[in-house]
Amino acid sequence: MKDLQSTKAMWLKGWLFLVIGLMSASILLIENWSWRTALLLALCVWGFCRAYYFAFYVIERWVDPQHKFSGLGHFLSYWWRSRK
């Protein structure tokens, strides 16, 4: 797949991800409101953000600076091959 080059398209993609996340969280909380659900949802989002940061920043900067990842699938295949 070709890299996204357009700055406007990158901004649009970022805003769309934000809208998807906000709408999904809103629907979940509207259908099943409780403080517990809100806390678990916030922890879920935070945990996945940290995992994403680890996969693309920590690994590229400190574990293997020569390797660049194009997505989570690429990272998982790198991890699987490095185990062998």
**Which residue range forms the structural domain that includes residue 74?**
45-84
Does residue 50 sit in the same domain as residue 84? yes
pLDDT by residue for the chain (84 residues), tens digit each?
Answer: 577 788 999 999 999 999 999 999 999 999 999 999 999 999 999 999 998 888 778 777 777 777 777 777 877 888 788 877
Asked if residue 39 belongs to a domain, the reply is: no
Asked if residue 40 belongs to a domain, the reply is: no
Does residue 25 sit in the same domain as residue 53? no
Does residue 81 sit in the same domain as residue 51? yes
**Two tokens at 13?**
């993609």
pLDDT for res 1 = 59
Asked if residue 38 belongs to a domain, the reply is: no
Asked if residue 49 belongs to a domain, the reply is: yes
Distance CA 41, CA 47 (A): 10
**Two tokens at 16?**
């769309």
Quickly list DSSP for the chain. -PPP--HHHHHHHHHHHHHHHHHHHHHHHHHT--HHHHHHHHHHHHHHHHHHHIIIIIIIIII-TT---SSHHHHHHHHHHHH-
Task: Report the domain count for the chain.
Answer: 2
